[in-house]
């Protein structure tokens, strides 16, 4: 599907990095004019090589490698080793091929790609390894921004594929609940931006558009059937390629003008619990809806309903923090603190009732 773009990407990145040289240091590759996600992949690959090499080292227990000054010196040395790592022509070509194929898969089908990439060798992975492998993924950072605090709060040292897949689906579901159809279309921006770089700098690829089939894969990966089916109908009517602006306009025309939102679609699949009202004065609620939820009462009810389904305040706090992070909300603003306190009070009250019963 992206054969021409893959070939053009490899040619362009090679030209802008190693060129005709026999080798290139990672330091110089990171200074070159190539996309940030390509730089992140190469750096992560070198870090992964060093990490595995360090695990094979024989270290005597008589030496305290965890001593603060020793640890800092070790980190500095590792940083220098990473930046001065040198790719010869073959190593560079092999890494570039892995990189481009990975990026096209990840940008198009992030959930599917993560499941296969992270669990290619085993049905479970240590969280420390998970953290390092997420360094390959500079796009869609919201996944790790939720997974990291979740694993920390639950004291999870290892996670299996089934649980991980469930978490990915849950994260996307929560993100989608808060977005309109237009905002959902904008989630494809990383893929379009990568195509833009290739078509801006490459040859024989002039128009910034994506195969409609690729967009179908993207929305199927997020389990948004209505959008995927709408795009399939477009393709059946002869629309084989879609530009970024066309996608936004198409979803806006097809969904927003009908008063339909993705939030409503997801709520049909996963209805939010109504739950009792939060301990808020009416004027406090109005300020929270206006400041934190863009004046959308339905969005406020949906998010609150979802948070109240959490089994504990710890889980609810993670969901709340995710909402603040994804919507660039200052958690220390007056409205955010009031909202957080009301939720915490609700869970405290429920816990007290459970203890009495």
CA distance linking residue 128 with residue 144, whole number of Å: 12
Residues 113-137 have pLDDT tens digits of 999 999 988 899 999 999 999 999 9
In contact, 12 and 198? CB cutoff 8 Å: yes
- pLDDT (0 to 100) of residue 317: 83
- Per-residue tokens: 298: 């339905």
In contact, 308 and 275? CB cutoff 8 Å: yes
With residues binned 3-state (H G I as helix, E B as strand, rest as coil), the percentages for the chain, rounded to 5, are 70, 5, 25
Residues 52-111 have pLDDT tens digits of 888 777 776 777 777 888 778 888 888 899 999 999 999 999 999 999 999 999 999 999
CA distance linking residue 237 with residue 318, whole number of Å: 44
Nearest to 303 by CA among 266, 248, 333, 252: 266
pTM above 0.75, yes or no: no
- Per-residue tokens: 138: 């500079």
Site of tokens 């599917």: 112
Site of tokens 């080798």: 23
CA distance linking residue 70 with residue 124, whole number of Å: 32
φ, ψ at 65 (rounded to 5°): -75, -15
Instruction: Spell out a b/e string for 140-157, using b for 16 or more CB atoms within 10 Å of the CB, else e.
Output: bebbbbbbeebbeeeeee
* Average pLDDT of span 255-261: 45
Hey, what CATH topology would domain 182-269 get? Recoverin; domain 1 (1.10.238)
In contact, 164 and 119? CB cutoff 8 Å: yes
């Amino acid at each position: 599907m992206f054969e021409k773009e893959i070939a053009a990407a490899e040619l362009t990145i090679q030209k802008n990095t190693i060129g005709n040289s026999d080798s290139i240091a990672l330091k110089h590759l990171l200074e070159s004019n190539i996309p940030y996600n390509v730089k992140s992949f190469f750096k992560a690959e070198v870090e992964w090589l060093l990490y595995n090499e360090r695990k094979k080292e024989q270290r005597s227990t008589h030496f305290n490698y965890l001593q603060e000054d020793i640890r800092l010196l070790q980190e500095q040395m590792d940083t220098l080793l990473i930046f001065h790592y040198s790719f010869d022509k073959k190593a560079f070509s092999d890494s570039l091929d892995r990189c481009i194929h990975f990026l096209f898969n990840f940008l198009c089908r992030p959930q599917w790609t993560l499941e296969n990439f992270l669990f290619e060798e085993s049905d479970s992975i240590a969280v420390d390894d998970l953290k390092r492998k997420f360094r390959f993924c500079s796009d869609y950072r919201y996944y790790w921004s939720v997974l990291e605090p979740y694993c920390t709060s639950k004291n999870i040292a290892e996670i299996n594929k089934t649980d991980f897949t469930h978490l990915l689906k849950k994260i996307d579901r929560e993100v989608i609940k808060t977005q309109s159809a237009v905002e959902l279309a904008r989630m494809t921006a990383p893929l379009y931006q990568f195509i833009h770089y290739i078509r801006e700098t490459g040859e024989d690829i002039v128009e910034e558009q994506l195969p409609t089939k690729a967009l179908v894969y993207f929305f199927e990966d997020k389990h948004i059937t209505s959008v995927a089916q709408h795009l399939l109908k477009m393709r059946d009517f002869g629309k084989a390629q879609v530009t970024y602006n066309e996608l936004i306009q198409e979803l806006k025309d097809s969904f927003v003008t009908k008063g339909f939102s993705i939030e409503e679609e997801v709520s049909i699949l996963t209805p939010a619990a109504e739950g009792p009202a939060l301990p808020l004065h009416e004027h406090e609620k109005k300020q929270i809806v206006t400041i934190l939820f863009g004046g959308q009462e339905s969005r406020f009810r949906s998010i609150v309903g979802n948070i109240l389904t959490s089994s504990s305040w710890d889980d609810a706090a993670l969901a709340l923090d995710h909402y603040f992070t994804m919507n660039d909300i200052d958690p220390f603003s007056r409205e955010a603190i009031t909202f957080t306190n009301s939720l915490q009070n609700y869970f405290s009250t429920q816990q007290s009732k459970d203890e009495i019963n």
